[in-house]
Amino acid sequence: MTATVSPSFSSKDEIHLAYSRLKNLTQQTPFPTIEERRQCLQRLQAALLVNEEPLLDALLADFGHRASQESRLLELIPLMGEIKHAKRHLSKWMKASRRRVHISTLPGSAKVLYQPKGVVGVISPWNYPVLLSLGPLVGALAAGNRVMMKMSEFCPETNRVLRDIVNQSLGENWVEVVEGEAEIANEFSQLAFDHLLFTGSTSVGHIIMRNAAKHLTPVTLELGGKSPFLVAPSADLKDTAKKLVFGKVLNAGQTCVAPDYVFCHHDQKHTLIDYIKQELAAYYPDGVLSSDYTSLINARQLDRLKGYLDEARAAGVECDNLMPQGPVESDGKLAFHIVHQPDDELSVMQDEIFGPVLPILTYSNMDEALSYIQQRPRPLSMYLFTQQSDDQTRCEERIVSGSLVINHTLIQVAQADLPFGGIGASGMGAYHAEEGFRTFSHSKSVLRKRGPNALALLRPPYRRRMHKLIAKYWPFL
């Protein structure tokens, strides 16, 4: 089957025309078969494999420096896992759920039918332009929807390849691609989608939600925030440092679930920092000059991070470069910095850092650390390093977060059978896995009545014998 090639749209009129066309297609075929959905996923999977090298080259071009191995590890492997998982479990997800009917409705039957919502909008960010655009697409297609995708303007080369992949595999009968800057994104989010998923900053999330409210469009918001990294007294500090560096420096920390600040016991701090230095030296022996160290996406992000460090130093806070093997910055790269015990009022403790800057706070006992985390906005992820099961239980029960990961970092994103989503300031709703299918489906109740109409016995007048019996026995009905 040859897919019809559709262009990307970048003007308001074109966006509205594309939306109307997908809406009409949805009305013509409101419930795609399981075969049609599987074919979409299969063709998308095949197109990704064929275009792997162009996609990796495009990511390198957009970031300036980003190792192809890192792009494959962080974007393509998790995405392929999602596609395979959806194909494998789609028949189970689509199966209607049987429910019980009340005794007064017998004989009868009830079920919940998972119906496609219609046209889904997806707004993806620049930090993982492949995974965070095509990942939601997988869930939306599995649920039988048509999709409009607004891709980040900061990744033009990646967008070009993604557009080719979508056109080759799906064509204009399933997906429309939109490109453009903030004005186009604002217009896009005001369309009367049947569901809208946005991944990005909390500040923009407020705008998206206001725009969606005009049509009462249901939204899923993936917003990030400040994910704490809690080191319990029992933690293996060498292993902790390995997992911390893995989660914080991949993609130069430009990850919504990257550890945002560390909380450790004051007796652990110096040993932990020494292990972090050793691990960084093993990862990047030439510091920021190492070819495997990823650049920040643009000068604006670099200046923002340097501003955090300047503000902290001006407030008398110590900031250490843990990559002394090379310059502090080069070609859009910034060396990994520790910020020691910053005050809460500083920007580095107010904003999501999204880069290779890491505040370290200390505590005297775990309750102090847990209380601090509880009092802050709810994080997208929390990381706990411990050898004690009691510590895990306390975090599970006391801290409300999108996810909790014990003794590792980042790997929760690549679990195809786990939902992904935040709560409160870190977002709302979830996708991935079966929860993603449910997010993009409408759970429609279907009740069928058969045989005699027992409810006729309940009609007025209410002075009849039946209602006297109900008044007496209603708690047992």
Active site positions, annotated? 222
Q: Cβ contacts of residue 291 below 8 Å, gap of 6+? A: 65, 67
3-state secondary structure of 463: coil
Orientation of helix 131-142 relative to helix 34-50, angle to 10°: 160
Can the peptide bond before residue 107 be classed as cis, meaning omega within 30 degrees of 0?
Answer: yes
The SS3 assignment for 284 reads coil
**Cα–Cα distance measured from residue 304 to residue 306, given in angstroms and rounded to the nearest whole number:** 6
Q: Is the peptide bond before 54 cis (omega within 30 degrees of 0)?
A: no
Burial of 64 from C-beta contacts in 10 A (0-12 / 13-18 / 19+): middle
Rounded-to-10 torsion of CA 264, 270, 275, 276: 70
Length of the chain counted residue by residue: 477
Are residues 363 and 264 in contact, defined by beta-carbon separation less than 8 angstroms? yes
CA–CA dist 44, 38 (Å, integer): 10
Q: Yes or no: say if 362 and 264 are a contact pair by the CB < 8 Å rule.
A: yes
Alpha carbons 368 and 337: distance in angstroms, whole number: 25
Please tell me the distance from the alpha carbon of residue 61 to that of residue 334, in angstroms, as a whole number: 18
The number of angstroms, rounded, from the C-alpha of 148 to the middle of its chain's C-alpha atoms is 18
CA distances from 44 to 41, 343, 417 (A): 5, 48, 20
Helix (H) or strand (E) run with residue 307 in it? helix 299-314
Q: Torsion over CA of 470, 472, 473 and 475, rounded to 10 degrees?
A: 100
Task: Report phi then psi at 246, rounded to 5.
Answer: -55, -50
Token digits for 219? 């939204």
Taking the C-alpha atoms of residue 411 and residue 403, their distance in angstroms, rounded to an integer, is 11
Side by side, the strands of the sheet bearing 108-116 are 97-99, 108-116, 441-449
Can you spell out the DSSP letters for 18-53? HHHHHHHHHHHSSS--HHHHHHHHHHHHHHHHHTHH
Question: What distance in Å separates the CA atoms of residue 147 and residue 139, rounded to the nearest whole number?
Answer: 10
What residue type is 12 in one-letter code? Answer: K
Task: Give the torsion sign (CA, 256, 247, 81, 441).
Answer: negative
